[in-house]
Homo-oligomer: A and B are copies of this chain.
Amino acid sequence: MSYPALPKPSAAIRNSTPIEYFESPEALLEKASHERFAVVFCDGKVYSLWKSLIDALCRETPVITIAGGEESKTLPSLRRLWKKLWQYKVDKGQKVLVIGGGSTLDVSGFAAATWKRGVPFVSVPTSLIAQIDAAFGGKVGINFRQGKNLLGTYAHPESIWILPAFLTTLDERSLKAGWVEGYKHALLEGGELWEEIQATSFSALPSTLILQKLVSVKLRYVQEDPYEEKGIRQALNLGHTLGHIWESLSQREEKPLLHGEAVAMGLVQEAFVSVQMGLLPEKVWETILSKLKGEKVLSPLPSFTWKQWEKLLSQDKKIREGRVFIPLLLEVGRVALQAIPVERLKKVVRMYPSWLHA
């Protein structure tokens, strides 16, 4: 039985948003000294850790701090940023600087993209997940009524400035969760990159070269299909259908899952769906499970009812006659969009807890 794999994007990188890497805080400062910003939106934790750098970066520009994490991707938080743009009378001839992890970039980018129909913004991703994934691809937005990213638009920053040094102050949990998204990029890519990430510890700081390799996987999918119309970009959603559900459900818990942690669960679960459908050799799934377990990025399921679970699934994916369309792994480096019976997803979810203890 053979399935048509999703077409792989061509190797040529056609990125219209300039991405710059900076070897030192001083190099970033030098770059920023040539720009003027009307306002700076900055993750509060990053600001406290890098206060002198960010103050030097911003000079007289007002800095608005944002409590990072999923809880900042809400309508009240968006409304607060709009109010700041109003207060500082930001107009289309000015620019906004955004500094932070994925959530900060998402909500801030959405605020900028919808203020007076769009003011330019420059993104400075500070977490690993933002430096290899969230800052790229032009998706901005917030959550709505428990649904991930239900409100949003496509908007590219004017530039993306990457200072890998920010990762030195990242807590280990966030670092590991960031590697998961890199692991997914490597799963899509296969080959040498896959071998390299398999052999890399998720507690290690990535080299700039690895950051660039991982980003380039994402960018090729994005550039071939920026608006997810061709069934190409959807491959990036590997592990995210179930992952988003766990992430949403965990928001009400004392210690919500990080995005990467939720995706790790989704990756291993969705890979097993592939196995069950005869699409993927069980050995590949074992390799993935063993790596993610070994890195201690797999968490227990958050508490939920199947009713809640189905409601979240139905907002994320259209269910037609009890099936949802999701990207599934055929082998390392090959993915296809598949119609999956909802019951099959449930069955795999029920098996998941046993894998954690095996």
- A interface residues (Cβ-Cβ under 8 A, vs B): 75, 79, 82-83, 86, 89, 91-93, 113-118, 139, 141, 144-145, 147, 149-154, 227-228, 314-315, 318
Contact = CB atoms under 8 A, between A and B. Distances in A.
Interface residues of A, dominant DSSP: mixed
Contact of A153 (B82, B117, B149): B117
A145 B86 contact: yes
A86 B144 contact: yes
B86 A154 contact: no
Stoichiometry, copies per complex? 2
A325 to B, nearest CB: 10
17 contacts: A75-B79, A82-B144, A82-B150, A82-B151, A83-B145, A86-B147, A86-B150, A92-B228, A93-B318, A113-B153, A114-B114, A114-B141, A114-B151, A115-B150, A115-B151, A117-B153, A153-B153
Given A116-B152, A118-B227, 17 more contacts: A82-B150, A82-B151, A83-B145, A86-B150, A86-B315, A89-B315, A91-B318, A92-B228, A114-B151, A114-B153, A115-B150, A115-B151, A116-B149, A117-B149, A117-B153, A118-B153, A118-B154
A105 to B, nearest CB: 15
Contacts of A91: 318
A115 to B, nearest CB: 7
A117 B106 CA distance: 12
A14 to B, nearest CB: 21
B314 A116 contact: no
Nearest to A229: B92
A91 B114 CA distance: 21
A79 B142 CA distance: 13
A117 B79 contact: no
Nearest to A147: B86
A150 B315 CA distance: 29
A4 to B, nearest CB: 20
Contact of A152 (B93, B114, B228): B114
A117 B139 contact: yes
Contacts of A153: 113-114, 117-118, 153
